[in-house]
Homo-oligomer: A and B are copies of this chain.
Amino acid sequence: MKHAVISNNVIRRLPRYLRKLDELEKQGVSRISSSQLGEILGLTPSQIRQDFSCFGSFGQQGYGYSVTSLKEQISQILGMDRDTRAILVGVGNIGRSLIDKFNFNDWGVTLDAAFDVNPALIGTTFRGVPVKSDKELIPYLNENKVDIAVLTVPREVAKEATQQLLDNGVEAIWNFTNVEIVDPYSKAIVENLHFSDSLLALSYYLSERRDREAEENQ
């Protein structure tokens, strides 16, 4: 029934809260106030309380928040307690490192299978994830629940792969290709991880600082 649309800014802060709460929990901290959390994260207490209040009342007046229960609430808001199934398309370098090192399970996501064109990879298994032929992709999509497709193919085939995924019922794409994904049906959820965008932002802030320093030294 609560149908208010939550702003993207709020959503992007939730994982940060979660990360810090997890850290605090591991350090044995059991209770925290919005002021303390704000201090740690560089946010105002108001903003933190405002953020939480989008989803309910998780604290207690005069006391603050229980670290553990706040963490659980946020996990749930983010959908971590759902049975989310993922596949990975493109077992290149980055795909491989995601299979090997990224703990999908820690975030409530199960990586069920990977797909590639390379015969040397097909039939192998990394960390329990079987690598299947790209020819099996469409049949697989038709026979299994797939919530998220992790897109780690070379940029040349990104468009084609996206088309296949969307045409066969995938609703969400986690995009690691440096290509702007266009969903012709505008109904997919696309989350981009453009490394280059991130590096360019860093580059901007660095050169802006250099300019400022150069001016000051005149």
Q: Is the CB of A78 within 8 A of B189?
A: no
Q: How many copies does the complex hold?
A: 2
Q: Is there a chain B Cβ closer than 8 Å to A63's Cβ?
A: no
Out of B82, B109, B200, B201, which one reaches A199, CB within 8 Å?
Answer: B109
**Which residues of the partner chain B approach A199 to less than 8 Å between Cβ atoms?**
104, 107, 109, 174, 191
**Which residues of the partner chain B approach A193 to less than 8 Å between Cβ atoms?**
193, 195, 198
Q: Is the CB of B180 within 8 A of A202?
A: no
Q: Is the CB of B97 within 8 A of A204?
A: no
Q: Contacts A101-B94, A193-B195 known; A172 to B79 CB distance under 8 Å? A: no
Out of B11, B80, B100, B203, which one reaches A80, CB within 8 Å?
Answer: B203
8 contacts between A and B (CB under 8 A): A14-B200, A78-B201, A107-B203, A108-B203, A109-B203, A148-B202, A148-B203, A189-B206
